[in-house]
Structure 1
């Protein structure tokens, strides 16, 4: 296994194992096609100022775009169009000839029109004057909308009910004939018969994923409560290769619900400032470009553009009712192409609102379209989420018991997933011809041996496992590694799949070190009490295992196997290891409200290895302790309100939201039980919270505190998480040495801030590179009571020393341990590098004051 393959696997493990999306990007990147492309700049003929929001289309079609705030535009199509048209309210329309199948550059000077239609009032700003908010009727209109946001929101009703239909589809876009003829796809030519060239002008779409849901939604304002009754659901399934439910959850997370009345709107994992946010007049420019008098109530067409084209802002049009509501009647918006959205080439949002019985407006239809790709001109992935609302009812009071019932507790229809008649009768929006065939086509595709072989290879490379039906071999990135104690280490292992049993899951591996000449192994069995897979939420399972293996004290990794090949490379001295024999029994019970508890039993025999020794003072000399045995019982309580996650092959990867996650853990050591040598209690609380800061990005905050009761040697104290690898670990101290600090009471806070290009987007060169800034700060306070400190209690194990007899393990003094970093993320759209600086405890031996660390990070 070469380094490149291991690197690919690290990408998948480190960033949420998005197997299907990764495969599709690889496929889409190879799509080549001849396109008609038109680019250029549009200015006012008289003032020479750039004109934003000019409509640019291929003549006679609806295919096109609009110019950005700098007057620049770009449109493309696979069709052989010969003319392009430019139009803008208050200006004469211009048509130009173009060469089909080529790239055309056409710069346009639009001439103001002398007259306008009688039924339209145009108030386009005079571009000879500087834009101002003061005395600007467009800004005054926006302020009226802001003042009435509360009354126009759904949450203003005490009770709301409606039927919701959701359709989410993904397609390969711009599938060319050359792509279809590639050797890899010759066996799947029948699949390309389903290419759709009619739904989106200028795009050839091959649907590959579709899911539909019909729900009844119920909302109560006070006390706030929501209930969802799922009436029907169907989707394309990739269960043999990915967590199908997790994939669905993740796609819905990317295509989040949009509320124009929110100050910040989360889309594609990023936050955008709404054009009617409280602070919108500070970040947007507004223009009233049309007044529609032939509708009731009259509507104002309000165009908005960012003041800074690089900020995470929208641009587009709002249609606003000119009555006492000042409500949004329609939204049509996109994002500026200068925004650092990484893989996203195009993003469009459309929303329609309808008037209710109380003359207020609510959303009736919301549609979001996004086109993803590795480059501007090649094929990619097109995604579309449509949400439609019917039977909108307000102020229908229901009993409290109704809202307390479990979600999806209704059985008003019989097996709708197998009833096409049901979907034809209840679907809010009809499927295109290509969409209607995607369920059958993908099902047929997965039955083909050649496709299954291709997916098996992709799964091996990206997730690290090779499936043999009821058994999986892996993870392959642990097959070979090395360390100072074991030397060259070989490992092979595997586990059962759901084809073996839905309830019972078995896992094992064996490893051998050629330097210490010792065998290591693991045996584990997990039983699910829900009758479903042990990975399927909510989990209720019992796990029993035994492990004989090595470990570095204080190394705790996230989403990475400890004997991953790339982690074999470490800085500094790394010779203090343990041989462990560990018996565990673990019972996990999760609830639908995302509260869970875990009961555990652990018998742990640890033997020092390498340069680590367990020693106590014996008069003027020291005496070696060969091993340390403990038996623990534990209880862990976890609450993660609103949590969503993607279940990978080895880890459950959480999808962050605005809610905190609380984890409280209590451990009790029982002396005398199975040769346990100590009584002690360990209590720890961990709180995680993502804080969104709108245009300034977001911050991940982790606060943790712990206290250990009882007299224990240093191996049983809190060994603070250190990292001597060259991979940046978010929850570890990246310039702390292994086993450098131990405590019996401590508190720590970590800040990890992502600016999302807020600074770099304003610097021309960096803006083009689409790099993003990151910064972190970590602080740790802790101490050891005298009874646990070998300097004051001679019965305790001595702290480890190096070859020169200098201590390498310490208690924290009054001064905290601190480190900070600044970094650049999104390098080549995948890499993050941090320059890390250690800010305290320079007097310790063999420490690094600064270093460069990297990690893979996949973001939109």
Structure 2
């Protein structure tokens, strides 16, 4: 998701029929902006609230002669509109609320004697029986369109060198009804589906019947970003997750701690009497919204709600988030979601004039039907959303199934993008963005990608400066097979290294994949307790330019693998395979892998030849992916991962040296802790039976690089602890700025707090110590007491940097033990 978002940021620099429009700023008598002031068209339910800087934009398809502006503690004002378009108004409010104004606020900011909060409590009591939850079974049609637009387009941008020769794309521009900015559509995706649900069985099935895409239809990174960006949410939930952040819902039970609520008005909407409540945050920098909602006076079900993220919210690269939902009255007691609209304004900063990209999603629901039972088997056999027929629906299908018609700008996207793809300059821009996003240079005529460019340069003590180049086959994002390889050269050891892999999808339904490859390279083993036999992977520790202490415990590896993998159930993968490895030290004088070998003339061997059979079970409940080829892309990161790995070493087969069994288990789970941020936890445990050499044992993963690497111990050297039985725990809590947001001055920096705690226990048998006695490194395990570390980190420094201060809890008596370290990482994060 980070790479996909950086792609959109780069594209930012490369690339109205309403009857009443009005914008401006609301200030007090001293000229200071008034945030969260109420701006409405009189005698209507159409309105908005000023942002943190007192600015607003309001638009309607109807004609209105004036607007009404009000805020608690100030006299309300009626402002006449001289024309249908009135921009850049400055509206001054005087202190001293008048009681005879048309708009009268009831209640106050406190929790006591506030009728708005009394209504809110009734919403909490009723929310479990509202909507679809009232029925045993339900089904409905769902139409969704996602659009991206370049925004804040002015004459300077149109005339810039970047768009020279592309001026025709600006022929038809429109203005956003939310922000009032000029925009140009560049991407559109439409999906029509049928949804079936059973509240008794707690199951739901969605059959995608049509999918139409313009723009970057073959770019999997963009598609994955869209899928992750616009995941479903429920405004009745306590927290709403956007961009990996948990925002407190205004309907949350904890909302009264972070919002002010005001009962503003009441009126009939679709023949239902509804209360109008305005809400806005109590403090800056928190992940909250401002807006308003209308709620029915008897069922206490929502009729409509607007949510807008405040500009002070601690979120990067997003200037605006605006959400509106409308609910349909089915009968006197049933209110169902009819339309859901979300707009995000992506930009490098939050200045009003900054250019960016709109991301807009509109979802329309219709043709609800209830209490039509389906069998349990029905919910297990959902249709294939990647059926090619789904992507080939004709215009008649879309005319019949669009639950909301495309406007003129949306209709023109398909034609515009078809034209742009023939323009060489646009293709150059697209290729540049694609390279930076994927790391690969596309050679279309050969169906080959060159890369990954981000792994070209490296350095370590064994190879010195290292250069690497690679390539892969790529016909499209859903290729049924893929070949990939690389070659590398070390200028110190003057040796050529290589890696090659092949994958073939034998059966799409069961995800039956056969894969294999060979790798001959230098690697830092022991960086992960539950390591995989990846013939193309390479750890950061093997290529890191800057390290702490001597980074000389590197291993020559010659690895060949053959695997068969299947997914018999959704998100449950089963892999069986074999591997043959030859392992030896890359720097024997500084670090050897010697072990006792009675059959060797010297009684000692320094190289291991090993054939293993491996069975791996991986379960990832809640994981979502896109694509149906041999390689798919994840589109979310909030799922758990459970892994069980059984390895059996076969002595004598292909001259394999050892017979042993290894059992490994790991469980990784991210937790959204409401308004306290995100906790990431990992538990790992394992055991190796029989005596094996050091290269086959389990090393507690140290980290001598200057990079923050999750699931490692930054104050441990490589191979400082070696085990045959182990258990480890890693906890990392990101508070997303909740603490810093309450500290004056610091809260304006939008920093975020990260706290880590990790520990490991293990033991090493006497047999293993005796077998590996010739090695020149100490063989110790954290047996007497659990080894532990803790860390405090500050992230979001300059929006891209994170720095961690790591402390060692014990075993300080170990030779050259590092009691303290500083590590860091950088990247684009929301």
**Contact 2:49 2:291 (8 Å CA) reproduced:** no
1:64 CA drift (Å): 8.9
Offset at 1:551? Answer: 1.2
Contact kept, 8 Å, 1:197 with 1:204, in 2: the verdict is yes
Which residue of the other structure, out of 115, 125, 130, is the alignment partner of 1:147? 125
Correspondence 1:823 to 2:802: no
- Partner SS state of residue 820, structure 1: strand
Deviation at 1:616, TM superposition (A): 4.1
The alpha-carbon distance between structure 1 residues 647 and 716, as it changes in their structure 2 partners (threshold 3 A), is farther
Q: Quote the Cα distance in structure 1 between the aligned partners of 2:308 and 2:354.
A: 21
Pair 1:442-2:417 in alignment: yes
* 1:749 maps to which of 701, 717, 729: 729
Are 1:761 and 2:749 matched, yes or no?
no
Q: Assess, with a 3 A threshold, how the Cα gap between structure 1 residues 511 and 588 changes in structure 2: closer, same or farther.
A: same
Alpha-carbon distance in 1 for matches of 2:729, 2:467: 38
Task: Quote the offset at 1:746 in angstroms.
Answer: 1.1
The aligned residue for residue 804 of structure 1 is none
**Cα displacement (A) at 1:140:** 1.3
Query: C-alpha displacement at 1:624, in angstroms?
Result: 4.1
- For residues 496-575 of structure 1, the aligned pairs below 5 Å read 496-498=473-475, 502-530=479-507, 539-556=511-528, 561-562=538-539, 567-575=544-552
- Contact persistence 1:754–1:773 (CA under 8 A): yes
C-alpha distance in structure 2 between counterparts of 1:55 and 1:447, whole Å: 46
Task: State which drifts further: 106-115 or 271-280.
Answer: 106-115
Q: Quick check: 1:484 aligned with 2:484?
A: no
Partner residue of 1:452 out of 400, 408, 427? 427
Gaps of 5+ in 1: 1-14, 532-536, 802-806
Structure 1 partner of 2:818 = 848
Alpha-carbon distance, 1:363 to partner: 0.8
Whole-angstrom CA distance in 2 between matches of 1:652 and 1:366: 29
Whole-Å Cα distance in 1 between the matches of residues 491 and 258 of structure 2? Answer: 63
1:614–1:797: 8 Å Cα contact kept in structure 2? no
In the alignment, the residues of structure 2 paired with residue 150 and residue 355 of structure 1 have an alpha-carbon distance, to the nearest angstrom, of: 17
Structure 1 residue 115 displacement after superposition: 2.9
Q: For 1:69-124, what per-residue CA distance to the aligned partner results, in whole angstroms no more than 9, with x for missing partners?
A: x8x5124799xxxx9966128723246999x999997653266445355xx8x443
Tell me the residue number matched to 2:27.
41
Aligned residues of 1:605 and 1:630 also touching (Cα < 8 A): yes
Aligned to 2:586: 609
- 1:857 Cα deviation after fit: 3.4
**Root mean square deviation, CA, Å:** 3.7
Cα separation, 1, equivalents of 2:269 and 2:554: 80
Measured in 2, the distance between the counterparts of 1:401 and 1:830 equals 48
Residues matched between the structures, number = 801
Q: Which residue among 63, 66, 70 is the counterpart of 1:88?
A: 70
Deviation at 1:545?
A: 1.0
Say which is worse superposed, 628-637 or 488-497, in terms of deviation. 488-497
Q: Secondary structure at the match of 1:425?
A: helix
C-alpha separation in 2, matches of 1:63 and 1:382: 22
Helix, strand or coil at the partner of 2:3? coil
Q: Distance in 1 between matches of 2:597 and 2:274?
A: 90
Distance in 2, Cα, partners of 1:385 & 1:546: 45
Is 1:678–2:658 an aligned residue pair? yes
Q: What is the 5 A alignment of 1:287-686?
A: 287-292=262-267, 296-323=271-298, 325-357=299-331, 359-375=333-349, 376=351, 377-408=353-384, 417-469=392-444, 470-498=447-475, 502-530=479-507, 539-556=511-528, 561-562=538-539, 567-591=544-568, 593-610=570-587, 611-616=590-595, 624-645=604-625, 654-656=634-636, 658-686=638-666
8 Å Cα contact 1:16/1:653 also seen in 2: no
Rate the CA distance shift 1:650–1:856 in 2: closer, same or farther, 3 A.
Answer: farther
CA shift, 1:445, in A, is 2.2
**Whole-angstrom CA distance in 2 between matches of 1:144 and 1:855:** 46
- Where 1:93 maps in the other structure, the secondary structure is strand
Contact 2:478 2:627 (C-alpha < 8 Å) held by counterparts: no
Q: Which residue is equivalent to 2:683?
A: 703
Q: Per-residue displacement from partner, 1:656-682 (whole Å, max 9, x unpaired)?
A: 555422111111111111111111111
SS at match of 1:585: strand
1:239 CA displacement: 5.2
CA 1:545–1:294 in 2, change beyond 3 Å: closer, same or farther? closer
CA contact (8 A) 1:63 1:201 kept: no
The alpha-carbon distance between structure 1 residues 653 and 746, as it changes in their structure 2 partners (threshold 3 A), is farther
Query: Which whole-Å CA distance do the structure 2 matches of 1:138 and 1:850 have between them?
Result: 52
Matched, 1:263 2:238: yes
Deviations 1:426-452 (A, max 9, x none): 211111211112123223323433333
Shift of 1:453: 3.1
Preserved contact between residue 553 and residue 739 of structure 1 (Cα < 8 Å): no
User: Conserved in 2, the CA contact under 8 Å of 1:62 and 1:201?
Assistant: no
Deviation at 1:213, TM superposition (A): 0.9
Native 8 Å contact 2:584 2:607 kept in 1: yes
- Shift in Å, 1:293: 5.2
Change (3 A) 1:77 1:342: farther
Deviation for aligned residue 1:631:
0.5
- Give the corresponding residue for 2:49: 66
Residue in 2 aligned with 1:10? none
Question: How big is the shift at 1:384?
Answer: 1.2
- 1:132 has 2:132 as partner: no
Change in 2 beyond 3 A, CA 1:513/1:92: closer
User: CA contact under 8 A between 1:481 and 1:564: conserved in structure 2?
Assistant: no
Equivalent residue, structure 1, for 2:809: 839
Return the offset for 1:22.
Answer: 2.4
Using the alignment, how far apart are the partners of 2:608 and 2:460 within structure 1? Answer: 23
Q: How far 1:258 moved relative to its partner?
A: 2.8
> Distance in 1 between the 2:161 and 2:386 partners?
49
Distance across 2 between alignment mates of 1:396 and 1:601: 50
**What's the CA shift for 1:569?**
2.0
CA 1:431 to 1:764, structure 2 compared with 1: closer, same or farther past 3 Å? farther
- In 1, the alpha carbon distance for the partners of 2:478 and 2:312 equals 51
Could you tell me which of 187, 207, 217 is aligned with 1:209?
187
Paired position in structure 2 for 1:11: none
Q: Which residue of 2 aligns with 1:7?
A: none
Cα deviation for residue 486 of structure 1 reads 1.8
Q: Structure 2 length normalisation: TM-score?
A: 0.88
Equivalent of residue 190 in structure 1, options 143, 165, 168: 168
For the residues of structure 1 that align with 2:813 and 2:543, how far apart are their CA atoms?
30
Per the alignment, residue 19 of structure 2 pairs with: none
* Contact residue 271 and residue 694 of structure 1 kept, 8 A: yes
**Is there any run of 5+ residues in structure 2 with no aligned partner, and where?**
16-21, 60-64
